[in-house]
Amino acid sequence: MKLSRNKASILLVFSLVLTLKINGKPLILQDLTPASTFNSQGDLIYIYKNIDEEIQLETLKFQTEESFTNSIPLGKKAFSPIIKKDRGGQIWLAWEEWEYDQSRIFMGRLDGDKIIHSQLMGKKEGYNLCPDLSFDLHDNPWLVWINYKDAQYRVCVHDTILKETWVVNSPLLSSAFSPQIAVDFENNVWVFWSGRDKSDEEIYCRVFNQYTWSPIHRITPEKKFPQINPSIAIDQQGFIWLTWSGYDGKDYEIYCKSWDGEKWSEISHVTDDHQRDDVFPTISIAFNNVPIIAWVQSENEESHVYIKFLKDECWSEKIKISHHRGQNIFPQITVEGEKIGIIWQSQNEIKVKFILFSQLKEYGILSESPLEPQLIYNASLNEEKYIGFGDSITYGYIHYEPAPQKGYLPRLEILLEQNFGDTEVVNEGWPGEITQNGLGRIDGVLRTHRARYLLLMEGTNDIVFRRISIDTAAFNLELMVRKCLDFGVFPAIATIIPRNDWKWQNKFFRDRIFDLNEKIRELAKNSAIPLVDQFNLFYYYPEEEGGWESLLSDYNHPNEEGYQLMAEEWFEEIRNFPFPPINFLVKRTYDEILFYRELGNDISWDENPKIYDANRIEAYKIYRKKAGKGNDQFEILQIIYDQCNYFDNDIVPSTQYVYVVSTLRTDKVEGPCSEQKQDQ
Amino acid sequence: MKRLSRILVLLILLISISKGLKAYSEYQSLDGIKKTYSPKCLLQQPGELSFEKTKNTLIEIFTGIYNMKDKRFKQIYDGYGFIYGLSFLRKLYNLNRHHFYLSLNIKSYTKKGKSTVTEKDTKLTLRPISLGGAYMFVTKRVIPMAEIGVDYYPYKEKSILHSTSGTAWGWHLKGGILFPLNILKSLKGKIYFRYSEAKTIENDLEVNLGGIEYGIGMIYEFNLF
């Protein structure tokens, strides 16, 4: 059943969308997402940390739309609070408390706006973060979190009755994120996390039957792509449902699996569109044992929250929940009876939406026709156009105020115009953007601007989101690079600059910055794209000139001097881009001696005069395809050293061929191809 | 080195010819005064040097410039090149001043070039053998000559692109003038012009190995049998 647009709008009228703002300030800190549940009165409650660094508990009545806000006295060191309801209806909290050289996990029960029985969970040294909470059949809390120490990530599970803590992910300690815990109806404690064994992240699981732990079980099939963001729920029969986001070679999709008491089901594809990235899934079970999944779908410059439910063993059409432009991320779905509460973060605000399950069943199909894939040849891109792609640093912020005219992009444009003539640099910096959003946005940016070059600098915001692993951020950057290359756009990537806030003082976050930059350097090397090491430019700025701190205007953003340095650093790399050869010609002719002649295509070109240091050109690569074939049919024909022509004699006389040629730098960075030429 | 030796041979021939011409144009008149022929009188005034008594065998070395007619040859081998060779002429018959010879000559021609597009090195070698009948009109001073004959062209072209060898048949017309040299009574100089045709087909390509040749030679005459 498909829903018409009118019916879809009726659905929107029925549903209640609330945006919470106080005195115009965003309610939520950028790096902290809200957690929600229904209380025993059937009201949706959610907890978050606001911009004044206070922990707030919001209660939202479904019928009357009234909301009440209470401050929870947890202090400014508290972060990432989560709330869970036990089987008896009591509300429990767990949160992180951060200090200079460590962070710890605390747990307590909520009584009104007071926390009672607050206690420190585990005493592990290092950084303890990302807690999750569940309750056994006796309503005893079980806690899971990540401990980071000595560059190792441990998934810690704590039994609050026995006061015992287990590290369940050993020996896979190189990476662990997004731990989830649930207790089934047989009192088995299920723990899930995303972690890395060999290459990319996978979803792992262990089960504790109150006596022993099961071996580590990899839930996701071994793929060469990351599988991340697990979310779990217990259905009314006590069985586990698991959803996660995984990359399938083309984009991120949402997957689901369930446990029937004996075995895991086959993987179910919740999304499978190959065009939009689907991430951050969250699952809950409706009253009639129907799993509902909410997630974020990124497309072009926006990301939106969608839900699907399972009906007759098939996933429904997706239902768009968020209708606010911009980035809508990190949804949480909570179901109680027929009531479905969805809460998410939108541009530093909290959005909440109530839907009745009956409404879903009645109107719940809102399909959107997928975009037709565009086949665009790279020769149509503008050679004199550059896209600056990234977050607020790319956009241009000074003293936390927008200043795009003072950022590095306009300064770079001046340098390029002085040296290359008429040049356009497009500002595609999106303040607050994480790589996940960038990944969803980049396709639209590439299509819109049709620039030949893209300067990628993103990841600063991923650092502060503890639920985003550095591997995931690096992978997203890699995907963005791949999308550029697939589109015929030549990307260059920059490391992220150091920050001067409390997070920099904190080893956990500082390590994340160093780790991400190291991965960006590896990415540039492995993808053979130019690297602009903005981090090193800042980090090694001479102390006698004020050190790198003097280049920042606030905690995160450079000042004008910093932006000027960044622009010059970009320019130094750009002037040695392997620009495509010019005067590219292909002519069908004979190569003759007196008694023999050979038919072939005489290919010639000239070095691009924009290349500053010609010594960095190692060779030229010629690609060929048959005329009339798609651009994916181009194949490498020859690498040419020390000359600017080639005679292709490996041809079928009756066939016409199309050629492109690119410049190869001595560091193996290959530039964009020239315009294509067909033999004549 | 080969080029040098060719130039040396050419120089020797030129010097010999110039000395011969000088000797021929200077003669001792009956009044004992040394006189010089003008070019005009050279043709009109028979000198005392007898040129009528020729021997029955002539052997000749010659060098010249060979300009192949084929258009593609010009692109690949950059125009003309030097050719040199050896001729044997045997008198068959003579009637007063009309002398008829059987002519046999072997030539050698080598030229380096580059393919038209990729500029790969290539080398063409010709070793033409010609058999012809020559006619000479013997006067006291010069001997105009004409020749017609058939040519057999063994050829070889060597290149990374492709190597070919083969043979071709052709014909030629030749004209020239013999004149005495004062170095040795039996030596004569010669200037000549030659036109030839020799078409062949290789690899579906028709090639004309013939062309225009002009050069100089030195002839030694003697009686054999």
pLDDT over 80 at B150, yes or no: yes
Length of chain B equals 225
Alpha carbon distances (Å) from A447 to A120, A269, A483, A487, A676? 51, 28, 11, 9, 20
pLDDT in tens, A291-308: 999 998 887 667 888 888
**C-beta atoms of B115 and A594 within 8 A:** no
A chain contacts of residue B205, beta-carbon cutoff 8 Å: 594-597
* Residues near B8 by beta carbon (within 8 Å), at least 6 away in sequence: none
pLDDT over 60 at A487, yes or no: yes
Nearest Cα of chain A lies from the Cα of B132 at a distance, in angstroms, of 27
Rounded average pLDDT over A529-548 = 93
Say how many domains are in chain B: 1
Size of interface A-B (CB pairs under 8 A): 61
A chain contacts of residue B203, beta-carbon cutoff 8 Å: 595-597
Q: In three state form, how does the secondary structure of chain B look?
A: CHHHHHHHHHHHHHHHHHHHHHHHHEEECCCCCEEECCHHHHHHCCCCCCCCCCCCEEEEEEEEEEEECCHHHHHHHCCCEEEEEEEEEEEEEEECCEEEEEEEEEEEEEEEEECCCCCCEEEEEECCEEEEEEEEECCCCCEEEEEEEEEEEEEEEEECCCCEEEEEEEEEEEEEEEEECCCCCCEEEEEEEEEEECEEEECCEEEECCEEEEEEEEEEEECCC
Q: Does B72 touch chain A (CB under 8 A)?
A: yes
**C-beta atoms of A594 and B120 within 8 A:** no
Please report the pLDDT score of residue A262 as a whole number: 86
A chain contacts of residue B75, beta-carbon cutoff 8 Å: 592
Surface-to-core class of residue B32, CB atoms within 10 Å of its CB (0-12 exposed, 13-18 middle, 19+ buried): exposed
Number of helices (H), then strands (E), belonging to chain A: the values are: 11, 43
Please report the pLDDT score of residue A352 as a whole number: 81
With residue A356 as reference, give the H or E element that holds it. Answer: strand A349-356
**C-beta atoms of B117 and A600 within 8 A:** yes
* Residues near B61 by beta carbon (within 8 Å), at least 6 away in sequence: B9, B84, B85, B86, B87, B217, B218
Nearest to A593 among B155, B161, B166 (CB): B161
The candidate with the shortest Cα–Cα distance to A610, out of A390, A452, A481, A380, is A452
**C-beta atoms of B162 and A593 within 8 A:** yes
pLDDT band at A429 (very low <50, low <70, confident <90, very high): very high
Percent residues over pLDDT 70 in chain A: 89
The candidate with the shortest Cα–Cα distance to A47, out of A25, A24, A70, is A70
A chain contacts of residue B76, beta-carbon cutoff 8 Å: 592-594
pLDDT in tens, A227-271: 888 999 988 778 899 999 988 888 889 999 999 888 888 888 999
Least confident among A4-8, A646-650, B13-17: A4-8
Handedness of CA A394, A398, A402, A406 (dihedral sign): negative
Task: Give the Cα-Cα-Cα angle A485, A491, A497 (nearest 5 degrees).
Answer: 140
pLDDT in tens, A653-673: 999 999 988 899 998 888 888
Computed over every residue of chain B, the mean pLDDT equals 82
pLDDT over 90 at B51, yes or no: no
Please report the pLDDT score of residue A19 as a whole number: 42
Q: In three state form, how does the secondary structure of A240-298 look?
A: EEEEEEEECCCCEEEEEEEECCCCECCCEECCCCCCCEEEEEEEEECCCCCEEEEEEEE
Please report the pLDDT score of residue B13 as a whole number: 53
The rounded distance, in Å, linking the Cα atoms of A600 and B118 is 10
With residue A503 as reference, give the H or E element that holds it. Answer: helix A502-505
Please report the pLDDT score of residue A363 as a whole number: 44
Contact by Cβ (8 Å): B119, A604: no
A chain contacts of residue B117, beta-carbon cutoff 8 Å: 589-592, 600, 602, 647
Alpha carbon distances (Å) from A120 to A37, A56, A74, A94, A163? 23, 21, 13, 10, 11
**C-beta atoms of B77 and A594 within 8 A:** yes
The rounded distance, in Å, linking the Cα atoms of A660 and A665 is 17
Q: Phi first, then psi: what are they for A357, rounded to 5°? A: -60, -35
B chain contacts of residue A597, beta-carbon cutoff 8 Å: 203, 205
Percent residues over pLDDT 90 in chain A: 37
Domain hosting B153: range is 2-222
The rounded distance, in Å, linking the Cα atoms of A518 and A395 is 24
Q: Phi first, then psi: what are they for A445, rounded to 5°? A: -65, -45
Kindly indicate whether the ipTM for this predicted assembly is greater than 0.85, answering yes or no.
no
**C-beta atoms of B115 and A592 within 8 A:** yes
Computed over every residue of chain A, the mean pLDDT equals 84
- Return the structure tokens found at A86: 């036990």
Nearest Cα of chain A lies from the Cα of B66 at a distance, in angstroms, of 16
Please report the pLDDT score of residue A590 as a whole number: 93
Contact by Cβ (8 Å): A356, A335: no
Rounded average pLDDT over A559-564 = 95
pLDDT over 50 at A278, yes or no: yes
Q: Does B168 touch chain A (CB under 8 A)?
A: no
Q: 3-state class of A170 per DSSP?
A: coil
* Residues near A319 by beta carbon (within 8 Å), at least 6 away in sequence: A11, A306, A307, A308, A360, A364, A365, A366
CB atoms inside a 10 Å sphere around CB A304: 25
Which sequence spans correspond to the domains of chain A? 1-43+240-369, 378-551, 582-678
Q: Phi first, then psi: what are they for A37, rounded to 5°? A: -160, 170
Q: Does B70 touch chain A (CB under 8 A)?
A: yes
Rounded average pLDDT over A109-129 = 81
The candidate with the shortest Cα–Cα distance to B10, out of B212, B186, B217, B184, is B217
Q: In three state form, how does the secondary structure of A329-350 look?
A: EEEEEEEECCEEEEEEEECCEE
Pick the more confident residue, A47 or A18: A47
Q: Does B122 touch chain A (CB under 8 A)?
A: yes
Beta bridge partners of A599: A590
Pick the more confident residue, B5 or A120: A120
The rounded distance, in Å, linking the Cα atoms of A668 and A505 is 37
- Kindly identify which residue of chain A lies nearest to residue B157, measuring between CA atoms: A595
Maximum Cα–Cα distance across chain B:
71
Buried (b) or exposed (e) across A544-577, using 16+ Cβ within 10 A?
eeeebeebbbeebbbbeebbbbbbebbbebbbbb
The candidate with the shortest Cα–Cα distance to A2, out of A292, A315, A356, A364, is A364
Fold of A378-551: Rossmann fold (3.40.50)
Please report the pLDDT score of residue A581 as a whole number: 92
**C-beta atoms of A589 and B161 within 8 A:** no
pLDDT over 50 at A533, yes or no: yes
Please report the pLDDT score of residue B16 as a whole number: 52
**C-beta atoms of A593 and B157 within 8 A:** yes
Matching CATH number, A582-678, of 2.60.40.10, 3.40.190.10, 3.40.50.2000, 1.10.10.10: 2.60.40.10
Rounded average pLDDT over B176-181 = 90
Most confident range (mean pLDDT) of A89-98, A335-344, B63-72 is B63-72
**C-beta atoms of A596 and B118 within 8 A:** no
The pTM assigned to this predicted structure is: 0.63
The rounded distance, in Å, linking the Cα atoms of A493 and A476 is 13
Rounded average pLDDT over A541-550 = 91
B chain contacts of residue A647, beta-carbon cutoff 8 Å: 117-118
DSSP letter at A44 equals E
Please report the pLDDT score of residue B200 as a whole number: 93
Q: Does A116 touch chain B (CB under 8 A)?
A: no
DSSP letter at A223 equals -
pLDDT in tens, B63-97: 999 999 888 898 899 878 899 999 999 999 888 88
Measured in Å, how far apart are chain B's first and last C-alpha atoms?
A: 38
Length of chain A equals 680
The rounded distance, in Å, linking the Cα atoms of B54 and B187 is 11
CB atoms inside a 10 Å sphere around CB B102: 15
With residue A328 as reference, give the H or E element that holds it. Answer: strand A328-336
Domain containing residue B100: CATH number: 2.40.160.20
The rounded distance, in Å, linking the Cα atoms of B224 and A419 is 85
Please report the pLDDT score of residue B146 as a whole number: 96
Q: Does A647 touch chain B (CB under 8 A)?
A: yes
CB atoms inside a 10 Å sphere around CB B22: 11
Q: Does B117 touch chain A (CB under 8 A)?
A: yes
pLDDT in tens, A340-373: 888 888 776 788 887 777 666 544 433 333 333 3
* Residues near A253 by beta carbon (within 8 Å), at least 6 away in sequence: A245, A246, A247, A269, A270, A271, A272, A273, A278
DSSP A534-575: HHHHHHTS-GGGTTGGGGBSSSSSB-HHHHHHHHHHHHHHHT
Q: Does A592 touch chain B (CB under 8 A)?
A: yes
Pick the more confident residue, A506 or B6: A506
Please report the pLDDT score of residue A24 as a whole number: 34
pLDDT over 70 at A525, yes or no: yes
Nearest to B73 among A590, A594, A647 (CB): A594
**C-beta atoms of A594 and B207 within 8 A:** yes
Please report the pLDDT score of residue A26 as a whole number: 39
Contact by Cβ (8 Å): A562, A549: no
Pick the more confident residue, A540 or A364: A540
The candidate with the shortest Cα–Cα distance to A598, out of B194, B163, B29, B161, is B161
- Return the structure tokens found at B138: 């013997």
Q: A593, A640, A643, A645: best mutation site toward chain B, by most B Cβ within 10 Å? A: A593
Please report the pLDDT score of residue A534 as a whole number: 95
Q: B70, B77, B115: best mutation site toward chain A, by most A Cβ within 10 Å? A: B115
Task: Give the Cα-Cα-Cα angle B103, B105, B108 (nearest 5 degrees).
Answer: 165
Contact by Cβ (8 Å): A81, A55: yes
Alpha carbon distances (Å) from A525 to A396, A473, A518, A671, B88? 27, 17, 11, 14, 76
pLDDT over 60 at A193, yes or no: yes
Least confident among A7-21, A501-515, A573-587, B149-163: A7-21
The rounded distance, in Å, linking the Cα atoms of A503 and A517 is 16
pLDDT over 90 at A423, yes or no: yes
Helix axes A470-487, A507-527, angle to 10 degrees: 30
The rounded distance, in Å, linking the Cα atoms of A525 and B213 is 65
The rounded distance, in Å, linking the Cα atoms of B187 and B157 is 37
